[in-house]
Amino acid sequence: LVLQGYLDEQFNQLEELQDDSSPNFVEEVVALFFKDSPRLLTNIELALEKYPQDFYRLDSLAHQFKGSGSSIGALRIKNECSIFKTHCNGRNLEGCRRSLQKMKREHANLKQKLETYFQLLRQVGPQECAVNSWK
């Protein structure tokens, strides 16, 4: 997933924090992201529908989503949030709408890929170190 550009070094760093005392640490952090992030996406969508658009609020919401994604190393989400923020700065409503759709797609793709990843890790068992699979 790192080589495919879905995740960055932050995800590797999360994996390095995982140990015997918290064997599911990374999965729990990722689960929190996917529990909270739909609310952020919905808030962005609702703010886009309001007229007139509050580009300052849109930028702030995208900033929150970007920070949340960055915390798990969601590189493509982070990059699309930056594009969205650029559209906000240019007061480009159509650009924001297109960018939101890409953010939603990247979110869904990453969720599916990480669910598969964690499922495979559970099959391998705790004796294997997930960190080595990323290097």
pLDDT tens, position by position, 34-59? 999 999 999 999 999 999 999 999 99
pLDDT in tens, 71-115: 999 999 999 999 999 999 999 999 999 999 999 999 999 999 999
Strand partners, 22: 19
- pTM, two decimal places: 0.86
Helix, strand and coil percent figures for the chain, each rounded to 5: 75, 5, 20
> What's the CA dihedral at 71, 18, 29, 117 to 10 degrees?
100
Q: Is 7 helix (H, G, I), strand (E, B) or coil?
A: strand
